[in-house]
Amino acid sequence: MPTVINFKQPLPTPNRIKVFTGSPHEDFDEFKQQIAQAMDGYDGSTQAKKGFIISYLSGVAETYANRLRKIEPAITLETLLKNLKEKFYAPPNKENLKRKLRERTKLPQESITEYFVDMEILLDELEITDQVESNL
């Protein structure tokens, strides 16, 4: 009997994806960006991509995603992410922005300019949040 070789591209091996649980202090957009970077250039099936995303969910986020897949087995990747965002998106607040600023490190593939621009955006968001909170 001949040996069958599977030439499908393996799932990406991410270096910086944090498991998303759906708690209010987590940033869904950050999670989505990490997933997108990890899957950049991956040509696997939609089913494999959905499985990859769900493997980085836990708690209520994982339960919700699995429920969505059970209700609609042919759910698209875009619809799955859209529904997760609608359910778990929390607008940026001061504590989340401070945490993101503390945890932000330069990624190996980004230039120093890109890193500083991103840090400047975070600082601007934090300043705007401070101004809004002081006006309340």
pLDDT tens-digit map of 30-80: 899 888 888 887 777 888 888 889 999 999 999 999 999 999 988 998 999
DSSP letters spanning 51-86 = HHHHHTB-HHHHHHHHHHHHH-TT--HHHHHHHHHH
Report the predicted TM-score, pTM, of the whole model to 2 decimal places: 0.60
**Main-chain phi, psi angles of 7, to 5 degrees:** -95, 10
Q: For 15-53, b where at least 16 C-beta lie within 10 A, e where not — what string?
A: eebeebebeeebbbeebbebbeebbeeeeeeeebbbebb
In the chain, the percentage of residues whose pLDDT exceeds 90 is 24
Q: DSSP letter for 42, please.
A: -
